[in-house]
Amino acid sequence: MALQTAEALILDVTDLHDRDRIVTFLTREQGKKKGVAKGARVKHSRFGGQLQPLAKVSVTWFEKEGRDLGRISSVELVRTAHPIQADLEGILLGSYLADHMLEFAQEEESSDHFFRLLDSTIQALLAGVDRDLAARYFEAWMLRLAGVFPAPWDCPSCGAPFPPEGAVLPRSGEMLVCPDCGGGLRVPPAALDFLRRIGREGLPAVAEHPPSSAVLRQIEELCAQVRRYFLQHELRSYDVIQRTLAKI
C-alpha cells in the first residue's frame, strides 16, 4: 500500500453507503484519481467542509495495487470555489467545467495542462471574469489540449490562409476549411480572431477586451459540434444547461 500526497482539484463528490463519500480529483502528475473518504458523511467528520466541488486542496490517500479506489486519509482546503456556485447559474457552470475533466482527463497520466487550465479558469471566475466568456475560453482550450480542436489559421485542404469571410466547420467536425473547400457551420472572422487570441492571451487579458455575445454563441456552437464529433455524445452537464436555460 502506497501513501500519496498531491495538490488537487476536486471534480466530483458522491455518497457511498450511509457514512462515506467517493471523491474524484485531478492531480498534475497522476491525472484523474478516485478514492473513498470514510466517515465523510457523519457529523463532525474530519473532512467537514473540505470536500467542495472545484475546490483546490492538498489530498493524501493510500493506494493498493489491483484496486480502483484509493482510501483518502486527509484533505486540506487550499482555495474554495464556493463563491462561483452560490447560484444556479454558477452551479451549472461548475458542473460543466468538471464534466470536461471527468471525460477527457485520464488516470495515471500527467495532466499538468488540464490542471492549469481548470485552476486558472476557477481563479479568473473568483476574480469576477464574465462566466459566459470563461466557459467559452475553457471549452475551446480544453478541446485544443485534447488534440481535437481544428487549427484556426490555414485551410488544410488547399493550404491557403483563411479568407476575410472566415472559415467553415464541416459536419464531421474534424477540421476548419475555407468556404471554397467545403460547406457546413460558418465560423465568422470575429470567431476566428477569438480562437487565435486565446492562443496567445490568458483569460484575464481576453476579458479586458471581450468579444460580443454573438461571437461567444458562435464559439459555443463550434465547440459543441467538435466535442460531439470526438466523443460521439454530448456532455450530460451541457444538456442540463440547455434544458434549464430553455425554462428560464
Model pLDDT for residues 183-210, shown as the tens digit of each residue: 999 999 999 999 999 999 999 999 999 9
Is pLDDT larger for residue 63 or for residue 12?
A: 12
- What is the model's pTM? 0.94
Q: Tell which phi-psi region holds residue 8, choosing left (phi > 0), alpha (psi between -120 and 50) or beta.
A: beta
> Would you say residue 28 has pLDDT above 90?
yes
Contact criterion met (CB below 8 Å) for 158 and 245:
no
36-53 exposure pattern, b = at least 16 Cβ within 10 A, e = fewer: bbbebbeeebebeebbbb
- A 10 A CB-CB count for 213 gives 11
State residue 172's pLDDT score.
Answer: 78
The mean predicted confidence, pLDDT, of the chain is 93
pLDDT tier at 43, thresholds 50, 70, 90: confident
State residue 30's pLDDT score.
Answer: 92
Compute the average pLDDT of residues 138-149.
Answer: 95
State residue 1's pLDDT score.
Answer: 59
Compute the average pLDDT of residues 201-224.
Answer: 97
Q: Tell which phi-psi region holds residue 128, choosing left (phi > 0), alpha (psi between -120 and 50) or beta.
A: left
pLDDT tier at 64, thresholds 50, 70, 90: confident
> Would you say residue 12 has pLDDT above 90?
yes
Model pLDDT for residues 87-140, shown as the tens digit of each residue: 999 999 999 999 999 999 998 889 999 999 999 999 999 999 999 999 999 999
Domain annotation for the chain: domains and CATH numbers = 2-81 (2.40.50.140), 129-247 (no CATH)
